[in-house]
Homo-oligomer: A and B are copies of this chain.
Amino acid sequence: MLIRSEFDIQFQMARRAAMVAMLHLHPSLERHVRTGNVLVVEHLEEGVVPGFGELIGTAEYGDSFGNRCSRFVAPEGLLRVSGTSTIEVDGLAEEAGAEARQAAIEELPCEVLQFLLPSRYCEVDRFMPVAQDLFGWMKPGWERAAAIRDWVHEKVRFDYQTARPTKTAMDVFTERVGVCRDFQHLAVTMSRCQNIPARYATGYLGDIRWPYTGAGDFSAWYEVWLEGRWWTMDARHNEARAGRVLMAVGRDAADVAITTSCGNAELRHFYVESHELLEDGTVVAPVAAV
């Protein structure tokens, strides 16, 4: 299956400011990339058509999680970051690993250990007894990991209006309402409490082979380490889906902000979509919503 993902995001910069973007596809997808995966940063002066602005140079680096980051200096005025990529993937929904075993801590690879630690939005140290009460009696491994995801999915309600940048897993646990990232933070936290390494993931999740759900956006999900590999989990949607396109992973949302500006950046335009593409370049329309 071919997936085309694209974004066009514009900010009005009150003044010159350094920015960091995590808008490339994740390095693990590199061998799947057919076209694109280029970040275009433009300065759009008054009246300039998007795509014809002055190009801003970017520098790339890998962060400590292996994500591909870009940094640049945005001049005062209108800034546009955009890109289009086509990848070829098998088109299968993410696997469930019903038999996946949970490794003993001593068998975890070293680089995985950090995903057991508390982080800004995942207060593992405060959640230990709560997670133990809820899940400690269950069979370790996939069963317990999936139960955590299901519990969060069941107990938390989605509501865009309730998003706030400082919301932590504990806030989600008590308020029981949030957006993508909030669902995943709570599930990540409780997984770690149960010695299941868990990391936060961000990327595209378009309505591919799936009923149409509305305008596109980036999405968040998470991954758990079982049976020697990472498995995709999504406490918000909780459905096996084809068409996730990974951009970045980290301990939690603090590590994988799509764009970070060190000055006043006012969002003016936001377009993010991903679609299935036929070999001839035709976009496959999403299934009509039910």
Residues of A within 8 A of B (CB): 17-18, 20, 59, 61, 63-65, 69, 71-73, 104-106, 110-111, 113-114, 117-120, 122-123, 125-127, 129-130, 133, 155, 161-162, 164-166, 170, 173-176, 195, 254-255, 262
Copies of this protein chain in the complex: 4
CB distance from A112 to the nearest CB of B (A): 11
Given known pairs A117-B255, A162-B164, the reply for A155 and B129 (CB within 8 Å) is yes
B64 lies within 8 A of A123 (CB):
no
- Find A105's partner among B18, B110, B195 (CB 8 Å cutoff): B18
CB distance from A12 to the nearest CB of B (A): 19
How far apart are the CA atoms of A175 and B170 in the complex, in Å?
Answer: 13
**A59 contacts across to B, CB distance below 8 A:** 110
Closest 7 CB pairs of A and B: A18-B105, A61-B110, A64-B64, A18-B106, A126-B174, A105-B262, A118-B120
**A174 contacts across to B, CB distance below 8 A:** 126-127, 129-130, 166, 170
How far apart are the CA atoms of A173 and B123 in the complex, in Å?
Answer: 14
A110 lies within 8 A of B166 (CB):
no
B175 lies within 8 A of A166 (CB):
yes
**A104 contacts across to B, CB distance below 8 A:** 18
What does DSSP make chain A's interface, helix, strand, loop or mixed?
mixed
A selection of 29 A-B contacts at a CB cut-off of 8 Å is A17-B105, A18-B105, A20-B113, A59-B110, A61-B110, A64-B64, A64-B111, A64-B114, A71-B106, A71-B113, A114-B255, A117-B255, A118-B254, A119-B119, A119-B254, A120-B122, A120-B123, A120-B125, A123-B166, A125-B165, A125-B166, A125-B254, A126-B175, A129-B174, A130-B174, A133-B155, A161-B161, A162-B164, A166-B175
B170 lies within 8 A of A129 (CB):
no
Known: A63-B113, A162-B164. 10 other contacts (CB 8 A): A18-B104, A18-B105, A59-B110, A63-B110, A64-B65, A64-B111, A117-B255, A123-B166, A125-B166, A166-B175
How far apart are the CA atoms of A113 and B173 in the complex, in Å?
Answer: 27
A71 lies within 8 A of B129 (CB):
no
How far apart are the CA atoms of A72 and B105 in the complex, in Å?
Answer: 10
CB distance from A21 to the nearest CB of B (A): 12
